[in-house]
Amino acid sequence: MATVNSIPSVDLADFTSGDPARKAAFVQQLGKAYEDVGFVAVRNHGIPADLIADLYKYVQSFFAQPSDVKHRYEIPELAGQRGYTSFGKEHAKGFDAPDLKEFFQFGQSVEDNDPVKAEYPDNVQVKELPEFTPTFFKAYRAFEKSGKALLQAIAIYLGLDEHYFDDKIHNGNSILRAIHYPPITQEPKSAIRAEQHEDINLITLLVGASADGLQILDKKGEWVPVTSLPEQIVVNVGDMLQRLTNNRLKSTTHRVVNPPREMWNTSRYSIPFFLHPKSNMDLTCLEGCVDAQRPAEFAPITAGEYLDERLREIGLKK
């Protein structure tokens, strides 16, 4: 198992190969990485390179629109869950200073008459860029597919049925977020574009960021830069999965730091896919992750209740 800047690297083709030995080896590699580090780089993830290129192209086009155009797509009552959120609205849990970013969020499109559709607002259509919404939809489905395979491997590692997560994430409340960190035009108050935090969801799939800056906090308490090769995506554990596994799988603290001064005039783009289950998923610690040595550290809660709590803590919900 190769590493990229201390991030273990795995090959999803091993899991989907149909070869029991390769599949079992992948499960062990992934599970161990999530117990030790909380982040992995994934090769052969199944998200086509041309789709990723299109996604970045339309994201950059959107953020290049005039402010008044972007603000048309900011809908305050959606608490940032769909459409545009302007610069400086969100902050990390426990920090007052806003992160130096603007973003656009695209959510679930229910296509099979599942009653859960009533829980989700419609996606915001960007009229100026006709290909924007169809590209986001295609990417969303590709991320869902890769994330589902990774969760199947995690389920096996935890001693659960391989398909334990399948129905919980089908039509789940996942979010595809396009982030723009604009050029830095004056001496920043902080060296941090996005303050240290953990993700809320089950797992996060991050496809190429356009510039360095992502760092994770390792077990020694040191910040380590994360870069993945162009053909890899980075996938980390979120707080919901950490909670479900009673801290067995680690939701790693991470942040985005400002570039060196000579790069201040550049933008940074990043597109994470936050894989969420349906809101009714029970996040009570799994029986197999609780024993006399490791009593349950978290009170029972549903995914929806937990998400609501966290959105208030980061300033997106009042």
Under 8 Å between Cβ of 120 and 174: no
Residue 144, CA distances (Å) to 95, 125, 204, 225, 285 in order:
31, 21, 11, 26, 24
Cα torsion 49, 51, 54, 56 to 10°: value is: -70
Written as tens digits, the pLDDT of the chain (318 aa) is 444 456 889 999 999 999 999 999 999 999 999 998 888 999 999 999 999 999 999 999 999 999 999 999 999 888 788 999 988 665 556 656 566 789 999 999 999 999 999 999 999 999 999 999 999 999 999 999 999 999 999 999 999 999 999 999 999 999 999 999 888 877 766 656 667 888 999 999 998 654 578 888 887 888 888 876 778 899 999 999 999 999 999 898 988 888 788 888 888 888 999 999 999 999 999 999 999 999 999 999 999 999 888 877 766 666
Burial class (CB in 10 A: 0-12, 13-18, 19+), 66: exposed
Nearest alpha-carbon partner for 3 in 199, 225, 204:
225
Please tell me the distance from the alpha carbon of residue 122 to that of residue 165, in angstroms, as a whole number: 25
Please tell me the distance from the alpha carbon of residue 288 to that of residue 80, in angstroms, as a whole number: 36
DSSP letter (8 states) at residue 117: G
SS3 225: strand
What predicted TM-score, i.e. pTM, was given to this entire model? 0.91
Work out whether strand 83-85 and strand 268-275 pair parallel, antiparallel, or are unpaired. unpaired
Strand runs labelled E in the chain: 3-4, 7-11, 39-43, 83-85, 102-106, 175-181, 192-197, 203-207, 214-217, 223-225, 233-237, 254-257, 268-275
**62-112 tens-digit pLDDT:** 999 999 999 999 998 887 889 999 886 655 566 565 667 899 999 999 999
Within 13 Å, how many C-alpha atoms sit on residue 180's CB side?
23
Domains of the chain: 3-313 (2.60.120.330)
**134-157 tens-digit pLDDT:** 999 999 999 999 999 999 999 999
Please tell me the distance from the alpha carbon of residue 38 to that of residue 36, in angstroms, as a whole number: 6
The amino acid sitting at 181 is Y
Structure tokens at 3: 């590493």
Under 8 Å between Cβ of 218 and 278: no
